[in-house]
Amino acid sequence: MAKYADLKLAHRIFMRRYPFSNYAISDVPGASMRKPLAESRVALITSAGLRLATHDAFDRSIRTGDTSFREIPNDTDVGVLIEDHKSSAFDHSGVAADANLAFPLDRFRELVAAAEIGELNHRHFSFMGSIIGPERLIGESAPAVAELLVADEVDCVFLTPV
């Protein structure tokens, strides 16, 4: 694991000035599983900024971060996903080589085939990471996705933060 001292100077300066937010545990939504995973509908959410070629690119010009999201259909070939993540704070080559590192859709298909989980939702979601102004994400985008997941009767969400 990288140490703080291993970061580039620009990233160390950024981290010192980053306006971290603190949220009380009561502010963090969560839920208990109501049925076993083997009977559950699962959706994936990533903050890798992945999208299809037919989607608009994430807007890298927004200083505090693009809080929009993209729907990724369940039948998507992971190999065609485009990584749009703006951060230079990590090595993007792993995700470029295999998007399953940030969006393990193929691995979850294997879990369905092995009857470890019930089924995958018909759609999954991708956000841009590195959101330093999370107000719109917390107040608008995340609740919008939560509403879609409830409408889809999703039982469990697997989040891959990048």
Over 67-97, what HEC string results? CCEEEEECCCCHHHCEECCCCCCCCCHHHHH
Q: What is the average pLDDT value for the chain, to the nearest integer?
A: 88
Residues 94, 70: Cα–Cα separation, whole Å? 21
Q: HSE (CB half, 13 Å, CA atoms) of 120?
A: 23
Chain position carrying tokens 């950024």: 14
Neighbouring CB atoms inside 10 A of 48's CB total 23
Residue type at 144 in one-letter notation: A
162 vs 159: CA distance, rounded Å: 10
Model confidence pLDDT, tens digit, residues 109-136 = 999 999 999 999 999 999 998 888 888 9
Render pLDDT for 11-44 as a digit per residue (tens, 0 to 9): 777 777 776 666 555 655 667 888 999 999 999 9
Which percentage of the chain shows pLDDT scores above 90? 56
Q: Phi-psi category of 100—alpha, beta or left, where left has phi over 0 and alpha has psi -120 to 50?
A: alpha
pLDDT score recorded for residue 132: 81
How far apart (Å, rounded) are the C-alpha atoms in residues 40 and 116? Answer: 9
